[in-house]
Amino acid sequence: MMQILRQAAIPLLVDDQRTADESNPQGYFEYQPVKKLKTDASWLPLSLGKAVKIVSPLLFYLPDHFEYKIIFMTRQLDEIIVSQNKMLKNQQAFTNEEQAKIRQQLAHHLLQVHQYLVYKKNMQVVKIDFNHLIKNPEAELLRLVQFLGVTISIEKLKTVIKPDLYRSRLENKE
């Protein structure tokens, strides 16, 4: 998503401290102070007018005195777990029992986040389905462009989508 936003000429707030690797060959597009959002939001004014990647558990700590446009990327839960297992290849992968527990916890967390976002009046949200973005980019990109209020060719945005990097795909699941 961050590559798409960059292609749309949306400025990004990133620090490039976490470099590209086998798991993310295009890079991580992270800004390290985000990780401390729960206790320190002093960096937030730097993000005004920019896109910054924030993981869902930290959305609860965004201060109320700002307005936010949130692009919430959704993905099949089992694919998230497979992806995490691949990233943890040098550590012990999750057992089937652990995967089931993680899946349940993740589903509960996502429900809480979505309920919270609906409640927040200072947060506009568009959900973009990762799987649909890869399989049918035109529809998802059109929704994104409309949400952002930018004028850009969908074809130009499609050029940064790399289906070959979709390596944690689970077939026959929607």
3-state percent helix, strand, coil for the chain, nearest multiple of 5: 45, 10, 45
Determine, yes or no, domain membership for 171: no
CATH of the domain at 7: 3.40.50
pLDDT digits (tens, 9 = 90+) for 3-41: 999 999 999 999 988 877 776 767 789 999 999 999 999
pTM equals 0.85
Determine, yes or no, domain membership for 174: no
Range of the domain at 134: 2-165
pLDDT digits (tens, 9 = 90+) for 127-155: 999 999 998 899 999 999 999 999 999 99
| Total domains present in the chain | 1
Determine, yes or no, domain membership for 83: yes
Q: CB burial class (10 A; 0-12, 13-18, 19+) of residue 5?
A: buried
Q: CB burial class (10 A; 0-12, 13-18, 19+) of residue 29?
A: buried
